[in-house]
């Protein structure tokens, strides 16, 4: 298995610093080098941080005409890029407050607007940890136009930093979100997916969930054993159509 590599030809791609309420956080940004007023796409990481896979996703969006920004959401708590032990990584991630994440995403949007991005066409795309973040941000943000939540946790742990689940915020989701989930995901059983779909339908939102019956968790991550090429390609196409439908293109 070879991970996909999207080159940076014709792009402005690299790290930038985003001002926040308590300093700056790094982010990877990719966008067409010769375009102005392009739609903005927030790309939200798995627990493994803004690794090469996430940077590649940003470049894929940039090749399609987006300003794609992947903020380092764990920057204050620790640098997971230098960690190989999964428990050590989880110890960092478990200390990242939802309120901080929402504020930092807003900061990324403001930065994008200052840099010429069209935040009237604002989307968000997140994977695993970032998939849960998509649901939360869609309930929180008044600026977001649409989102795509890839196999984000729907129920589970709550504490002082993770105050609500995706299922709990479902009635408050403002922007239309497409959820992309695997039918063989052992960490997110189908009964949870069905409860989320029901909760979304009851609130008359435009959000929906697509389940890929044979796909495991992380089926889009082409650098991991769970990658399923055909489902990943299909889900990516569904996502892009969703963004076009809802004015994020």
Mean pLDDT of 203-231: 95
**Catalytically annotated residue among 53, 128, 222, 246:** 128
**Within-domain flag for 4:** no
Least confident of 6-10, 56-60, 79-83, 118-122: 79-83
- Is residue 70 pLDDT above 90, yes or no? yes
**Catalytically annotated residue among 56, 98, 104, 185:** 185
Predicted confidence at residue 1, as pLDDT, reads: 59
Sheet holding 67-71, edge to edge: 11-20, 23-32, 67-71, 39-44, 118-127, 146-150, 177-182, 208-212
**Within-domain flag for 18:** yes
Containing structural domain, residue 221: 11-245
**Within-domain flag for 2:** no
Any catalytic annotation for residue 58?
A: no
**Catalytically annotated residue among 53, 56, 217, 231:** 217
- For residues 76 and 26, is the Cβ–Cβ distance under 8 A? no
**Within-domain flag for 172:** yes
Any catalytic annotation for residue 128?
A: yes
Supply 137's token pair. Answer: 């941000």
What total of structural domains would you count in the chain? Answer: 1
149-166 pLDDT, tens digit each = 999 999 998 999 999 999
Give me the residue label for tokens 């909760």. 199
Q: pTM here?
A: 0.97
Q: Which CATH number do you get for residue 120? A: 3.40.50.1820
Any catalytic annotation for residue 238?
A: no
Mean pLDDT of 15-31: 97
Calculate what percentage of the chain has a pLDDT beyond 70.
Answer: 99
**Within-domain flag for 35:** yes
What sign does the CA torsion over 103, 106, 248, 52 have? negative
Predicted confidence at residue 84, as pLDDT, reads: 87
Mean pLDDT of 32-53: 95
91-116 pLDDT, tens digit each = 999 999 999 999 999 999 999 999 99
């Amino acid at each position: 298995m070879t991970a996909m590599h999207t080159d940076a030809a014709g792009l402005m791609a690299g790290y930038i610093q985003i001002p926040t309420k308590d300093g700056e956080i790094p982010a990877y940004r990719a966008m067409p080098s010769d375009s102005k007023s392009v739609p903005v796409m927030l790309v939200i990481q798995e627990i493994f941080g803004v690794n090469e896979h996430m940077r590649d996703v940003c470049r894929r969006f940039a090749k399609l005409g987006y300003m794609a920004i992947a903020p380092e959401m764990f920057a204050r708590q620790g640098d997971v890029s230098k960690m190989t032990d999964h428990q050590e990584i989880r110890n960092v991630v478990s200390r990242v407050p939802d309120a901080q994440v929402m504020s930092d995403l807003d900061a990324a949007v403001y930065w994008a607007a200052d840099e010429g991005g069209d935040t009237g066409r604002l989307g968000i795309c997140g994977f695993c940890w970032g998939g849960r973040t998509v649901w939360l941000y869609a309930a929180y943000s008044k600026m977001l136009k649409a989102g795509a939540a890839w196999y984000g946790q729907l129920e589970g742990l709550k504490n002082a930093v993770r105050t609500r689940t995706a299922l709990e915020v479902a009635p408050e989701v403002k922007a239309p979100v497409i959820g992309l989930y695997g039918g063989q995901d052992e960490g997110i059983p189908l009964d949870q997916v069905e409860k989320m779909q029901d909760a979304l339908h009851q609130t008359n939102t435009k959000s929906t969930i697509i389940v890929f019956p044979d796909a495991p968790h992380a089926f889009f991550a082409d650098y991991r054993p769970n990658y399923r090429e055909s489902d990943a390609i299909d889900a990516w196409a569904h996502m892009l159509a969703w963004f076009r439908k809802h004015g994020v293109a």
